[in-house]
A and B are shown apart, each in its own frame.
Chain A
Amino acid sequence: MNGRITTLNRLQRGIVPLVLLAVFALSPLVLKQYALILLTNTFMYIILAVSWSMFSGPTGYISLAPAAFFGAGVYTSAVLGFALPFPLIVITGGLASFCMAFLVGALTLRLRGIYFVMFTFGLVELLLNFVLWWEVTVTGTTGRVVPPLGNTTVFYFMLAILACLLLTAFRLKHSKYGFALQSIGQGEEAAAHTGIHVTALKMNTFALSAFFMGAAGVVMATRWTYIDPRIAFNPTLSFLPVLMAIFGGLGQLYGPIIGAAIFTYLEEFLITRFPYHYMLIFGITMVIAIRYLPDGLVGLVQKAWKQWSRRKHGAAQG
């Protein structure tokens, strides 16, 4: 009996995402080309922000390595080109990032707090400079041409990665591992005492989050068509997902999604209206968000909702 109710609940809960997926899957039929491009871009940022918060949200480890994992995917795309069927390249790129993140995770086990932040950012710069040197002295070039795919194809691949990611992130959050990650964030020693394999869990989650970043990098490279180390390992792609996630709020899965969507739209709006002041306004928004929205946008809305319902409740009583 109980079992049937949960199944029903699950079904109901599953319907909303499925409908959304269907809507997005059909959108290329009605949307204009440029709207599709923008949507693809938004998806990319959502993938980066959500996969970032999958690990960093509960554990509190701020990783500035997204650009490294994304860049690994971009380079996979450029190096493999047409050598493999595209879906295989996407998976290869994801796996490359997965392995790299696993290695980084193994190396940085002892690093906490700001040391972890600095290490992950150092990783981006190291890869950038090393690949630059490698391309200049060993392969004798720095730019690579990536075989382009159509806008619609790129859109569907991005959508597929996003769907897989959201499913994974949701399942993880509501599994025993999700709770274990949360307890790591509250205190690693205490978590270890309750019988959690802290090390294995941290490394696996970190690597899993990198998989999606790498896969997104593979797909995005086909849109950019020309890449070099500076484009692939662009440090901005490390900062932006972090900001988007924090701006949206880390408490809920939809926080980073909303954050990324708003940021992408804001960027598009500002860069066309205020090309000369866009980064300035962007910086100001960032500072204000951190200064006044400690729990992100979602936290703000929740707080407002609580206050409103309490008032309503109080009024009904009085």
Chain B
Amino acid sequence: MEEYGRKLPVELKRYDDKSDIGTMANLIEKLILEDKVDFLFPPWGTAWLFAAAPIANKYGYILIGGPGGALKLKQIDLPYFFQVLNFSDTQAPALAEIFEEVGVKTAAVVYRGDLHGIEYGEAMVPFFEERGIEVKMKKSYPPGIKDMSSLLKEADGLNVDAFVAACYPDGGMMLTSQSMELGINFNAFFMTVLPFSPSLFKGTFGERGVEGVMGGGAWNAKTSPGARDLVDKFVNLFGEEPDYWGGLYYWASLQHFRQAIEKAGTLDQKKIRDIMASERFDTALGPYWYDEDRYFVNHPGEIGQWQKGVFEVIDVGEKRTAPPLYPKPPWPKKK
């Protein structure tokens, strides 16, 4: 696997949404046309992926969707695009199922005004209602909001059992610290993008601070022997735990990709693509394959919850590594 080539677009991650989509589009075409790379790896973030996938597809380059992605991509026909992560259509029902099991009756949903937020915000409501959970509040907030206390207070005033946020790390950090500061505690506190990051989330609020918080994801070292191996390798290499949403998925997708390339015995994108689209290979996540839409569907759902410093998988069923902690304990008292 020496021929991975360069992957410059990844550098743009550092500027995230501040950077320029035109530049990224140019760079991807540069990689393909100028540097003639053998393989292409995706940029970070849903909007970026959305912009990159059609370009890669145009040139017949395989693109495995890493961080980010959206259901909407399914509507465009992109035969060279493979999607790895779980989205709202599998995570929302899994969350609703957990909520029903622990006895959540009412919920408040807030979501970020962007592709990610809208998709999750919209997807969750019908699944909640289907399981008899009443959604008493549903509001969007703009990226760059400076104060979310009125959202929290309103939800608190409505006395909801669960507070659900489809957010990005900026909003998630603000929601967590403001509910701590205001002493507002919900029986269930779920955020999509943030809790899965040990360095960002646990690192900032501490093990006791994050106890009982639920998040999108999820996997941990107990998921499989391969997962334990990945955590060990990652900690050895970087001195911190990996992200518990995508980490294992990307790893497994690369293992699958690698076996497909080996089986193809060529760098021909078309041949590798055909093998990837049809074959199953064994990975750290267990058997790994894509469905007819080229979505990885073997591990649907996946909701996590911080319990004693571990991001436990609490999905109903055999993936569960620990039962859900409900109600969530109160935020730690300040010394």
Chain A residues packing against B (C-beta within 8 Å): 32-34, 37-38, 41, 129, 132-133, 135-137, 140-143, 145, 148, 220, 223-228, 230-231, 234, 236, 267-268, 271-272, 275-276, 279
Contacts and interface: CB of A to CB of B under 8 A. Distances in A.
Given A132-B142, A272-B27, 15 more contacts: A32-B34, A33-B29, A37-B29, A133-B113, A136-B113, A142-B113, A143-B115, A145-B50, A224-B21, A226-B51, A226-B54, A236-B20, A272-B8, A275-B12, A276-B11
B182 interface: no
Given A34-B30, A140-B122, A225 B14 contact: no
Contacts of A133: 113, 142
Interface string B172-206: 00000000000000000000000000000000000
Interface of B: 8, 11-12, 14-15, 17, 20-23, 25-27, 29-30, 33-34, 47, 50-51, 54-55, 58, 70, 72, 76, 113-115, 117-118, 122, 140, 142-143
A140 B21 contact: no
Given A142-B113, A143-B72, A275-B11, A34 B21 contact: no
B58 A32 contact: no
A235 to B, nearest CB: 10
A271 B23 contact: yes
Q: Which 4 A-B pairs have the closest CB atoms?
A: A275-B11, A136-B113, A34-B33, A226-B51
30 contacts: A32-B33, A33-B29, A33-B33, A37-B29, A37-B30, A37-B33, A129-B142, A132-B143, A133-B113, A135-B113, A136-B113, A137-B140, A141-B115, A145-B76, A148-B58, A220-B22, A223-B22, A223-B25, A224-B21, A224-B51, A225-B25, A228-B115, A230-B47, A231-B21, A234-B21, A267-B23, A271-B27, A272-B8, A272-B27, A279-B15
Contacts, number: 88
A141 B115 CA distance: 6
B87 to A, nearest CB: 14
Question: Which of A135, A140, A141, A227 has the largest count of B CB atoms less than 10 A from its CB?
Answer: A141
A43 to B, nearest CB: 13
Question: Which of B11, B21, B23, B54 has the largest count of A CB atoms less than 10 A from its CB?
Answer: B21
Contact of B47 (A137, A143, A223, A267): A143
Contacts of A140: 118, 122
Given A136-B118, A143-B72, A236-B20, A34 B47 contact: no
A236 B50 CA distance: 21
B192 to A, nearest CB: 16
Contacts of A220: 22
A272 B58 contact: no
A133 B70 CA distance: 20
Nearest to A227: B21
B196 to A, nearest CB: 23
A279 B76 CA distance: 34
A275 B140 contact: no
Contacts of B72: 141, 143
A2 to B, nearest CB: 49
Contacts of B47: 143, 226, 228, 230-231
A116 to B, nearest CB: 25
A104 B318 CA distance: 61
A317 B191 CA distance: 82
A140 B123 CA distance: 12
B231 to A, nearest CB: 28
Contacts of B114: 132, 136, 142, 228
